[in-house]
Structure 1
Amino acid sequence: MKKVLFVATVVKTHINVFHIPFLKLFKDKGYETYVCARNDFVNKNECIIPYCDYYHDIPFSRQPFHLDNIKAYYRLKKVIEDNHFDIIHCHTPVGGAITRLIKKNMPDLNAKLIYTAHGFHFFKGAKLTNWIIYYPIEKWLAQYTDILITINQEDYERAKSFKCGELRLVNGIGIKFPEYGLSNAEIEEKREQLSLEKKDIVLVSVGELIQRKNHALVIKALGQLKKPHIKYLICGNGRLEKKLTELIEKNGLRKQVYLLGFRNDINAICQVSDIFLFPSLQEGLPVALMEAMANKMPVIATDIRGNHDLIQNNEGGILISPNSTEDMKNAILYLTANSHLWPKMGEKNFQAVQNYALDKIVKEMQEIYFGNNT
C-alpha cells in the first residue's frame, strides 16, 4: 500500500485547520496516511486527526533554534526511515526545514518531497533579522525540495531564484463557502445574543490575539473616533488578551469592543456584521479574509502581501498602511458613512474569491500529487 506523510509544527491549529481535505483525498486514493506534528491540544487526549491512520507526536518548536527541534529532527527521521513513503508534504517554516534537512542527510530517500510555504517570514517590510535568519535557510533548503508551493505572488516571484525541482503558485489551501444565509429573524436573534442594537454598525475581525494580527490598531482608531454606535467584534484567543482588554478599557471602549474568544460560528457572525477588518502586519494568504469575502463583506485591510493578492483597493474595500492609526480611522469613517457601497464591494469580493474555492484547490493539488494519474 502506498504511503503519504504530512508534516507541520502543530496539529490543532495547523493540520486540523488546513489539511483534512487533503488527507481525505489520499485516503480515497487508497493511501496509508501519516501525520507528524506536535500535539498542541490543551487536553492531549482530544488530539484526533480525521483521515489519519498513524499519528506521531513530534516536539517541534516554532522557535527555529530551540533545543526541542533537535529531538524533533531525530524522531521525525526515525519515522521516515521506518516507512517507505511515496509522498512527503511538509508545512510551516520549522516543519519544512527539518523535513528537508532529513532529506539532505538521506540521499537514498525516494519520496516525492513537497513543501508549501504558507508565507515566507522574509517579505517586503519584514524585520532585518527575518531576512538574516529565514531567507538563506529557505534558499539553501530549496535544493532538497522536489516541488515548492507558494500561495501568493510576492513569495512566488521571490522563489524563482531558488534551485528547487519545480515551483508552483497555488491559491492557498481552499475555503468552503457558507452553505446558507441567515434569515432576517436569525440575524436579529444572533445580534441580540451578541448584545448588538439595530442602530449599531458592526465591524468584525477574525484572528489570534497576537502581535502579528495587530488588533490594537483598530482599538486605538476607535478610541479616537468616539462613535458609540460603531461596535467591534474580535473573534480569536491568544496571549495578548489581557493587554488588549487593558487597551479597550484605557480607550473607554468597554461597551463597543468585544473579545469573543475562539468561535465556531464565524460565518454567522460575519452575516450579522457590516464590515470586515483585517489589520494584520504579516500574512501568507489569509483564510479568514477569504471567508469574509465568501460572505460578501466589504473589507478594510492592511496593504500587505496576501491581503493585496485578494482585495482590490477601492473596489472590494480599502487597503491601508499597517502602522497608521489615522489611515484606519479614516477608512472606518468613510465606509461606515457610505453604506451604499457595501453591497457592491461585497459582490466584488465574492466574485474574486471564487478561484480560491476548496474544490478547485483540491483538484489542483491532486494534479501536483499524482500528475495526470488522477
Structure 2
Amino acid sequence: MRRLIFITTVPVTLSAFLLPFARHFRTQGIQIDAMAQGISTSSECVEAFDRVWEVKWSRNPLAPRNFLQAPRVVREVVEREAYGLVHVHTPVAALVTRYALRGLRNRGRLKVVYTAHGFHFYQGGNVVKNAIFLGLEKLAGYWTDYLIVINREDERAAKRYRIVPPNRVRYMPGIGIDLSKYSPRKVQEAEVERVRAELGLKSNQPLFLIIAEFTTDKRHRDAVLAFACTSHPTAHLAFVGTGAQIAKIKTLVQKLGITDRVHFLGFRHDIPALIRASITTVMPSIREGLPRSVMESLSLEVPVIGTDIRGTRDLLQGGCGLLVPVGDVAALTRAMTWILDHPEEARNMGKLGRQQMAAYDLRHIIAQHEALYAEAMEKDHHTFS
C-alpha cells in the first residue's frame, strides 16, 4: 500500500479543503495521513485520515521555533512511516517541511509536492516583503519536486522566477468545489426566507454579503464606506466571519450611522442560504490566492463584486461579476449601485458564473491530483491509485 501525507500549518485547512481528497484516496487503497498543529482535537480530521500527527510551529514564517523543534518532528515521522509522497499546503508548513525533508528527498526516499494557495509576494505588494517572500520561495524550490499554483498570476511568477523548473510547475484551478453541494437546487426557498427573516429583511430589501475573516488584507472598511455611499436606503449589508479587525469595523459602522442596516453574523454553517438570500457577494481584498467564497457564490448563481487581483480576476473573467481597483471606494460604490439598479442583469451574471465553475468542479481537481501523484511516483495512474 502506498502512503501519502498531507501537511498543513493548522487543521482548519485540512477540514475546509482537503477532506474530500482524503476520502477519495482512501477508497483507492492508499493510506493517507495528515499533520498539523492541533490536529488531534479536530474530530473531522481524525475521522477522515488514517492517522494524524501533531507538530508545533508558529504561523509567523520567520519565527525561530519553526526551525528548531518542528523540522525534527516532521523528519522523524516521515522517515519512520516511510511515506512515498508528501503534499504540503500553507506557507509555514510548506517552508518548514521542505527544509526538514531536504536530505531525505535528495537521497531519493520521497517526493514532495507543494500547493501554493497564493504566494506571499504579489503584484502591488510591498517591495521589501515581496523580495523576502520571493527569496524564501526560491530557496524552498530547491527542495520541491512539483509546485501547484492555483491562479494564473502565480503560474507566470513561478515560471518567470524559476522557483522550480518550469516543467514541474502545475496550474490547477484551486482545490475544487463540490458543485453538487453548492447548487441553487440544493438551497430550499424556506432556508432563504428563514435567513432573511432573521435579518429582518422585507421582500424589497436587497442584501450585500461579505464572507471573510476580519483582517486588514480583506479591506472590510472599503465595503462599509462604499455601502454607506449608495443611494438605496433599503439595502442591507451582512458580514460573515470573525477576526481582529471586527471592533474597528463596528465602530466605523456606528460613526456612519448605518447600524440598523449592517449585520455582523460571526461564524455560520448556513453559507449557501446566506448567499442565495443576497443580490451579490463582495470581496474587496488586497490579496487572495483563489477565494473560496467567490467560487461558492458563483456556483450558487449569485454574482460577485471583487477587486482586480489575482484569483478573483481569474474567477470573474467572462462577465460573471464586476471588478474594481483595490482601495477605490468610489468604484466599489458604483459597482454596488449598478447591481442594485440592474437586478435582472445581475441575475444573468450569476447564471454565467455557475457555468464557469464547471472548470473548478471538485471531481476534475481530484483527477488532476491523481495524475500528478502518479507522475511523481513514476507509476501509471492505475498503479498508484
By the TM > 0.5 criterion, same fold? yes
Contact residue 15 and residue 44 of structure 2 kept, 8 A: no
Query: Aligned equivalents of 1:29 and 1:231: distance in 2?
Result: 47
Correspondence 1:67 to 2:67 = no
Q: Which amino acid aligns with 2:2?
A: K
Identical columns (%)? 29
Name the CA shift for 1:7/1:184 in 2 (closer, same or farther; >3 Å): closer
Correspondence 1:163 to 2:164 = yes
Query: Aligned equivalents of 2:46 and 2:101: distance in 1?
Result: 25
Correspondence 1:212 to 2:210 = no
Q: Which amino acid aligns with 1:187?
A: V
Q: Deviations over 1:104-162 (max 9, x none)?
A: 23332521210001100111011123212110111122122111111111111111123
Q: Deviations over 1:14-47 (max 9, x none)?
A: 1111111111222112222221111179xx4757
SS for the counterpart of 2:8 is: strand
Report the RMSD for the aligned CA atoms in angstroms.
Answer: 1.8
Query: Aligned equivalents of 2:19 and 2:127: distance in 1?
Result: 35
Aligned to 1:199: 204
Aligned to 1:127: 126
Q: Deviations over 1:308-332 (max 9, x none)?
A: 111026x212100111111111111
- Per-residue deviation, 1:270: 0.8
Correspondence 1:359 to 2:357 = no
Q: Which amino acid aligns with 1:53?
A: D
Name the CA shift for 1:185/1:32 in 2 (closer, same or farther; >3 Å): closer
Contact residue 191 and residue 273 of structure 2 kept, 8 A: no
Aligned to 1:319: 323
Q: TM-score, normalised by structure 2?
A: 0.91
- Per-residue deviation, 1:339: 1.1
Query: Aligned equivalents of 1:363 and 1:307: distance in 2?
Result: 24
Q: Deviations over 1:252-311 (max 9, x none)?
A: 121111111111111111111111111111011111100100011121100000011110
Match of 2:259 among 254, 261, 264: 254
Name the one with the larger helix percent. 2
Q: How does 1:11-50 map to 2 (within 5 A)?
A: 11-12=11-12, 14-39=13-38, 44=41, 48-50=45-47
Query: Aligned equivalents of 2:137 and 2:355: distance in 1?
Result: 34
Query: Is the deviation greater in 172-181 or in 274-283?
Result: 172-181
Q: TM-score, normalised by structure 1?
A: 0.94
Query: Aligned equivalents of 1:86 and 1:182: distance in 2?
Result: 41
Match of 1:99 among 97, 100, 120: 97
Name the CA shift for 1:125/1:36 in 2 (closer, same or farther; >3 Å): same
Aligned to 1:172: 174
Aligned to 1:54: 51
Aligned to 1:309: 314
Correspondence 1:334 to 2:344 = no
SS for the counterpart of 2:139 is: helix
Q: Which amino acid aligns with 1:30?
A: G
Q: How does 1:261-300 map to 2 (within 5 A)?
A: 261-300=266-305
- Per-residue deviation, 1:59: 1.3
Query: Is the deviation greater in 22-31 or in 232-241?
Result: 22-31
Q: Deviations over 1:29-81 (max 9, x none)?
A: 2222221111179xx47574332122122112121121331222222122122
- Per-residue deviation, 1:373: 2.2
Query: Aligned equivalents of 1:264 and 1:188: distance in 2?
Result: 16
Name the CA shift for 1:45/1:202 in 2 (closer, same or farther; >3 Å): closer
Contact residue 10 and residue 60 of structure 1 kept, 8 A: no
Contact residue 16 and residue 49 of structure 1 kept, 8 A: no
SS for the counterpart of 2:331 is: helix
Query: Aligned equivalents of 1:232 and 1:31: distance in 2?
Result: 46
Q: Which amino acid aligns with 2:306?
A: A
Aligned to 1:110: 109
Query: Aligned equivalents of 1:33 and 1:188: distance in 2?
Result: 41
Structure 1 gap ranges (5+):
none
Q: Which amino acid aligns with 1:194?
A: L
Query: Is the deviation greater in 262-271 or in 24-33?
Result: 24-33
Contact residue 116 and residue 147 of structure 2 kept, 8 A: yes
Q: Which amino acid aligns with 2:102?
A: K
SS for the counterpart of 2:101 is: helix
Equivalenced residue count is 370
